[in-house]
């Protein structure tokens, strides 16, 4: 008899975007390690996750993706991009979009929009579905290559406002590409699914209102969704045919602007740069076509740099061996683009007003960020202000829709395999969350089975003198050593004022909200420097996996405790030895011979033991290590007294 799971084919999730498309998978292979089954994008042979939704037609096979996009300016009439704007629409409907397209659009059967490209001596007329099919085929091949099995089924996303004709056109595109579109999912719904929203079976959550803010390269969309409690689990578990997680979401309203995006931000920076060039080198230089395209690229680079840095330098070579050098500050950029950001917020307000008619006063419980332009700090800040909550940014905003489509596909595969819903969907945290400490041990901040929402904080410090940055590794699991836990993410707290090891006070806070999204922040108390990261801890985690992790931790409990203790002893000994050796160098002469010899003996013993423990933690006894460390503590008391007396004396001298 064939095992049910081996008969199931992979179903991938596809974000068929206006400018870029991506393919992702989740819960595949159907059984096995959670980390390996977490939602992930399937890149192309060159390792690129995003495939530009661009197709260039010619005599032979069309060219798809990066190459077609790169040479678009060279072949404006045969390079077809943004074809999503034409999908399932009549020529009249699409009229507003035509000025933005470089190729010719004509009326086909039933007045539908068709693309006409010159090929050889004649012309070729293709439907938007056919153009999209080339992109889908490229993604299908990419997915098959990465998974090592033929891919024939997909969940494909569309904007929430797509009508039936547009959805049908998307299905047809799939069919032409040899893909069965097993489900069409709204993009905002997919984004919510990528955060695990709507997957929490039997949870006591009330109906939730979720806003999806999608600010991409060329378009802005906002959707207000209602996650219907109760159905969330039942719908996904589905007795009624191929019901799926996405069924738990209702679209209450949408608003947006089909021509507002990152390109407009670039345009503003470009205008400023062109003005600077005109002022410095003359109007005619600013008008040279080569200069304009260089300025456009520089504008986008500067914008992207300012999402991380406070300021950036723009260097532009100009004709005649001259160059323009300007520094652009984040504040300056923010002032320039504020009106654009406010326009998106106006759309949000409109969508909220429309949704309010169907709401009984519920407030927004989560805002999900989608699209590359949501990396702009001003955008995040203003969205947080308008909605009164920190938006979800943990999942890469370029990938979140594809990953969510993959989550939906994963649920369908699980059902087909008869595995039921084995994702972990509880109101409690299934596994503990913590941080890696010096020496590789884990400091748990939130323990397993804590009810969500929950939060916890702890103070940490530096381990090296003058250390100005700390790397924080966020871990999940029950074991005592970081290497045995799942690494959820890392981030750096930089800009700590240089101080001796152990002096800076860094408060690290873990907060898990009702949806299970974890926010970790670290604040150095003296300077106020802050860094934060957001993580979705339960991605791809199955009930079996949680059980396995639990069993492992029981099995290794005793050994793990010892190992953790020794790791802490090594780290603390290093700090102590460092301090003592430094003080000894300065004050050894002031110590009585007996105390000095005793101290030096204790230093040697502890150093040797720590070195042996570093080599092989099993070669030392934790109790003995502890005792030797304590005897060094005692032996160093006299040195402490001398050091304090000396420092007081030097202070007094300084005071006089």
Query: What is the nearest approach in angstroms of ligand AMP to the Cβ of residue 413?
Result: 27
The residue count for binding ligand AMP (CB under 6 A) is 17
DSSP string, 388-422: TSPPB-SS-TTTHHHHHHHHHHHHHHHHHTT----
Separation between Cα atoms, residue 513 and residue 366, nearest integer Å? 10
Burial 356-372 (b: 16+ CB within 10 A, else e): eeebeeeebbbbbbbbb
Is 132 a residue that touches ligand AMP (CB under 6 A)?
Answer: no
Among the listed residues 12, 20, 531, 632, the single contact to ligand AMP using CB under 6 A: 20
Is 216 a residue that touches ligand AMP (CB under 6 A)?
Answer: yes
Separation between Cα atoms, residue 503 and residue 488, nearest integer Å? 28
Helix (H) or strand (E) holding 5: helix 4-7
Q: Angle 543-555/557-587 helices, nearest 10 degrees?
A: 60
Closer residue to ligand AMP (CB): 216 or 439: 216
Closer residue to ligand AMP (CB): 319 or 329: 329
Separation between Cα atoms, residue 436 and residue 556, nearest integer Å? 18
Is 419 a residue that touches ligand AMP (CB under 6 A)?
Answer: no
Q: Which of 209, 201, 213, 214 is nearest to 249 (CA)?
A: 209
Sequence-distant (6+) residues with CB within 8 A of 176 are 129, 130, 133, 136
Closer residue to ligand AMP (CB): 128 or 262: 262
DSSP string, 264-325: HHHHHHHHHHHHHHHHHH-HHHHT-HHHHHHHHHHHHHHHHHTTTSSEEEEEEE-GGG-EEE
Query: What is the nearest approach in angstroms of ligand AMP to the Cβ of residue 571?
Result: 36
Is 159 a residue that touches ligand AMP (CB under 6 A)?
Answer: no
Per-residue interface string for the shown chain with ligand AMP, residues 385-404, x marking contact by CB under 6 A: -------------x------
Query: What is the nearest approach in angstroms of ligand AMP to the Cβ of residue 185?
Result: 17
CA atoms 61, 62, 67, 73: torsion sign: positive
Query: What is the nearest approach in angstroms of ligand AMP to the Cβ of residue 98?
Result: 20
Q: Which of 133, 132, 154 is nearest to 143 (CA)?
A: 154
Among the listed residues 97, 300, 354, 544, the single contact to ligand AMP using CB under 6 A: 300
Question: Mapping DSSP to helix (H, G, I), strand (E, B) and coil, where does residue 34 land?
Answer: helix
DSSP string, 569-618: HHHHHHHHHHHHHHHHHHHGGGS-HHHHHHHHHHHHHHHHHHHHHHH-GG
602 neighbors 631 (Cβ within 8 angstroms)? yes
Is 307 a residue that touches ligand AMP (CB under 6 A)?
Answer: yes
Half-sphere exposure of 237 (CA within 13 A, CB side): 14
Is 330 a residue that touches ligand AMP (CB under 6 A)?
Answer: no
- Specify the length of the chain in residues: 656
Query: What is the nearest approach in angstroms of ligand AMP to the Cβ of residue 498?
Result: 30
Query: What is the nearest approach in angstroms of ligand AMP to the Cβ of residue 196?
Result: 21
Closer residue to ligand AMP (CB): 261 or 540: 261
Is 371 a residue that touches ligand AMP (CB under 6 A)?
Answer: yes
- DSSP bridge partners of 176: none
Q: Angle 593-615/622-635 helices, nearest 10 degrees?
A: 150
Is 312 a residue that touches ligand AMP (CB under 6 A)?
Answer: no
Query: What is the nearest approach in angstroms of ligand AMP to the Cβ of residue 271?
Result: 16
Among the listed residues 146, 171, 375, 479, the single contact to ligand AMP using CB under 6 A: 375
Is 78 a residue that touches ligand AMP (CB under 6 A)?
Answer: no
Pairing of strands 433-436, 442-446: antiparallel
Is 513 a residue that touches ligand AMP (CB under 6 A)?
Answer: no
Tell me the window of 91-99, 136-144, 205-213, 255-263 that interacts with ligand AMP (CB under 6 A). 255-263
Closer residue to ligand AMP (CB): 291 or 341: 341
Is 304 a residue that touches ligand AMP (CB under 6 A)?
Answer: yes
Sequence-distant (6+) residues with CB within 8 A of 574 are 438, 463, 610
Query: What is the nearest approach in angstroms of ligand AMP to the Cβ of residue 20?
Result: 5
Is 408 a residue that touches ligand AMP (CB under 6 A)?
Answer: no
Is 262 a residue that touches ligand AMP (CB under 6 A)?
Answer: yes
Is 382 a residue that touches ligand AMP (CB under 6 A)?
Answer: no
Is 23 a residue that touches ligand AMP (CB under 6 A)?
Answer: no
Closer residue to ligand AMP (CB): 26 or 191: 191
Is 221 a residue that touches ligand AMP (CB under 6 A)?
Answer: no
For residue 372, what are its two tokens? 């590359």
Is 373 a residue that touches ligand AMP (CB under 6 A)?
Answer: yes
What residues act catalytically? 15, 84, 187, 214
Comparing every residue's Cβ against ligand AMP, the nearest one is 262
Is 24 a residue that touches ligand AMP (CB under 6 A)?
Answer: no
Tell me the window of 221-229, 317-325, 373-381, 602-610 that interacts with ligand AMP (CB under 6 A). 373-381
DSSP state of 481: B
Query: What is the nearest approach in angstroms of ligand AMP to the Cβ of residue 451?
Result: 36
* Whether the bond into 453 is cis, omega within 30 of 0: yes
Is 157 a residue that touches ligand AMP (CB under 6 A)?
Answer: no
Is 372 a residue that touches ligand AMP (CB under 6 A)?
Answer: yes
Q: Strand locations in 447-590, DSSP E?
A: 454-460, 470-476, 486-493, 506-512, 518-524, 530-535
Query: What is the nearest approach in angstroms of ligand AMP to the Cβ of residue 265?
Result: 7
Per-residue interface string for the shown chain with ligand AMP, residues 438-467, x marking contact by CB under 6 A: ------------------------------
Among the listed residues 212, 245, 376, 541, the single contact to ligand AMP using CB under 6 A: 376
Closer residue to ligand AMP (CB): 113 or 376: 376
Closer residue to ligand AMP (CB): 127 or 312: 312
For residue 570, what are its two tokens? 């090594």
For residue 265, what are its two tokens? 């931000």
207 neighbors 199 (Cβ within 8 angstroms)? no
3 neighbors 29 (Cβ within 8 angstroms)? no
Query: What is the nearest approach in angstroms of ligand AMP to the Cβ of residue 565?
Result: 43
Residue ranges in contact with ligand AMP by CB under 6 A = 19-20, 216-217, 261-263, 300, 303-304, 307, 371-373, 375-376, 398
């Amino acid at each position: 008899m064939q095992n049910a799971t081996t008969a199931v084919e992979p179903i991938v999730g596809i974000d068929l975007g206006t400018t870029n498309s991506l393919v992702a998978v989740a819960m595949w292979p159907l059984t096995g390690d959670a980390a390996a089954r977490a939602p992930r994008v399937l890149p192309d042979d060159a390792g690129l996750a995003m495939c530009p939704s661009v197709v260039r037609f010619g005599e032979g096979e069309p060219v798809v993706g990066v190459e077609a996009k790169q040479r678009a300016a060279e072949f404006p009439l045969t390079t077809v991009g943004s074809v999503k704007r034409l999908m399932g629409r009549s020529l009249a409907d699409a009229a507003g979009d035509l000025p933005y397209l470089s190729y010719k659009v004509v009326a086909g059967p039933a007045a539908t929009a068709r693309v006409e490209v010159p090929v050889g001596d004649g012309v070729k007329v293709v439907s938007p579905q056919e153009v999209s099919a080339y992109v889908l085929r490229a993604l299908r091949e990419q997915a098959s290559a990465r998974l090592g099995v033929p891919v024939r089924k997909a969940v494909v996303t569309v904007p929430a406002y797509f009508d039936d004709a547009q959805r049908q056109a998307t299905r047809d595109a799939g069919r032409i590409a040899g893909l069965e579109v097993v489900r069409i999912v709204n993009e905002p719904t997919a984004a919510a699914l990528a955060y695990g929203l709507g997957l929490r079976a039997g949870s006591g959550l009330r109906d939730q209102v979720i806003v999806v803010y999608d600010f991409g390269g060329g378009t802005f969309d906002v959707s207000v969704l209602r996650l219907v409690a109760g159905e969330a689990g039942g719908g996904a578990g589905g007795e009624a045919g191929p019901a799926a997680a996405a069924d738990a979401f209702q679209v209450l309203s949408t608003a947006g602007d089909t021509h507002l995006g990152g390109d407009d931000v670039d345009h503003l920076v470009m205008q400023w740069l062109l003005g600077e060039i005109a002022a410095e080198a003359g109007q005619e230089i600013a008008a040279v076509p080569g200069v304009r395209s260089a300025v456009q690229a520089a504008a986008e680079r500067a914008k992207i740099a300012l999402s991380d840095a406070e300021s950036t330098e723009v260097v532009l070579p100009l004709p005649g061996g001259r160059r323009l050098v300007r520094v652009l500050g984040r504040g300056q950029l923010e002032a320039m683009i504020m009106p654009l950001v406010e326009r998106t917020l106006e759309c949000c307000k409109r969508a909220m007003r429309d949704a309010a008619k169907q709401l009984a006063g519920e407030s927004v419980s989560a805002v999900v960020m989608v699209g590359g332009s949501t990396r702009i700090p001003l955008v995040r800040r203003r969205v947080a202000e308008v909605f009164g909550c920190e938006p979800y940014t943990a999942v890469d905003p370029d990938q979140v829709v594809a990953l969510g489509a993959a989550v939906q596909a994963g649920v369908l595969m699980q059902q087909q395999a008869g595995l039921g819903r084995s994702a972990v969907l509880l109101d409690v945290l299934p596994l503990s969350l913590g941080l890696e400490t010096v020496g590789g041990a884990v400091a748990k901040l939130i323990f397993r089975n804590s009810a969500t929402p929950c939060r916890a904080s702890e103070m940490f410090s530096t381990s090296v003198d003058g250390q100005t940055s700390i790397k924080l590794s966020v871990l999940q699991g029950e074991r005592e050593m970081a290497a045995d836990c799942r690494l959820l993410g890392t981030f750096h707290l930089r800009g700590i004022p240089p101080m001796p090891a152990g002096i800076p006070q860094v408060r690290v806070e873990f907060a898990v909200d009702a949806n299970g999204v974890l926010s970790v922040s670290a604040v150095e108390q003296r300077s106020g420097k802050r860094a934060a990261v957001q993580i979705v801890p339960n991605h791809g985690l199955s009930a079996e996996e949680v059980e396995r992790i639990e069993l492992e931790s029981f099995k290794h409990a005793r050994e793990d405790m010892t190992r953790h203790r020794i790791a802490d002893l090594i780290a603390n000994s290093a700090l102590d030895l460092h301090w003592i050796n430094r003080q000894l160098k300065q004050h050894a002469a002031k110590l009585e011979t007996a105390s000095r010899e005793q101290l030096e003996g204790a230093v040697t013993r502890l150093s040797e033991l720590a070195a042996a423990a570093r080599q092989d933690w099993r070669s030392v006894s934790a109790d003995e290590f502890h005792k030797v460390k304590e005897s060094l503590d005692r032996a160093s008391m006299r040195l402490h007294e001398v050091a304090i007396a000396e420092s007081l004396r030097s202070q007094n001298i300084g005071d006089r």
